[in-house]
Amino acid sequence: MKIDVKILDARMADQLPAYATAGSAGLDLRACIDAPLELAPNAWQLVPTGIAMFIRDPGYAALILPRSGLGHKHGIVLGNLVGLIDSDYQGQLMVSAWNRSTVPFTLAPMERLAQLVIVPVVQAQFNVVTEFEATERGEGGYGSTGKG
Ligand SMILES: O=c1ccn([C@H]2C[C@H](O)[C@@H](COP(=O)(O)OP(=O)(O)OP(=O)(O)O)O2)c(=O)[nH]1
Ligand SMILES: [Mg+2]
């Protein structure tokens, strides 16, 4: 599918998000900052990506997810855990970078910070009822099927 993208920072012109391999699901987003940004332990900051995208079709959305290397090795994850980009959002894509580790982390300008995944979405209609059709699970949850 084709998605309209605006380049908001000239540095992004020749490094638009791209799938790194034929099977990649994620597009890396870069930190479009002018100077290195130090994130103290447990600090978080909204980081611009230098691009805006207009998905347009309400049958799709985008998710911003951490990169596994940064998240696992350096504790750089997202302040909102997962970012949800609505199909009608036209502003700059922003990444809430959260240093959940115990040591400071310095984010370099244009470093790949997070990744974006385009996903299908179903906008549901609601049908109000007083009883649901019976299922094997019913209201069971929270380990109701046992351990192991
Ligand atoms: O990590 C994120 C999360 C959201 N957004 C943008 C796109 C999204 O469509 C919009 C609104 O996000 P969301 O609905 O999650 O935030 P909200 O707190 O509910 O704000 P709003 O009242 O504007 O919907 O902000 C980002 O750029 N990055
Ligand atoms: Mg919202």
Identify the residues whose C-beta falls under 6 Å from ligand 1: 64, 80, 83-86, 89, 93-94, 96
Ligand closest to CA 80: 1
pLDDT at 148: 85
Q: For residue 84, say whether it is annotated as part of any ligand binding site.
A: yes
Q: How far is the CA of 57 from the centre of ligand 2 (A)?
A: 17
0.80 exceeded by the pTM? yes
Q: Residues 48, 51, 56, 58: is their CA dihedral positive or negative?
A: negative
* Atom of ligand 1 at shortest range from CA of 92: 27
Pair 93, 8: CB distance under 8 Å:
no
pLDDT at 11: 96
- Among 3.40.630.30, 3.40.50.1100, 3.10.580.10, 2.70.40.10, name the CATH number for the domain at 4-120: 2.70.40.10
Structural domain spans, the chain: 4-120
The strand pair at 112-120 and 92-99 is best described as unpaired
Of 68, 67, 61, which Cα lies nearest the Cα of 84? 61
Q: Would you say the ipTM is above 0.85? A: yes
Per-residue model confidence as pLDDT tens digits over 29-70: 999 999 999 999 999 999 999 999 999 999 999 999 999 999
Residue 50 CA, chain-centre distance (Å), reads: 15
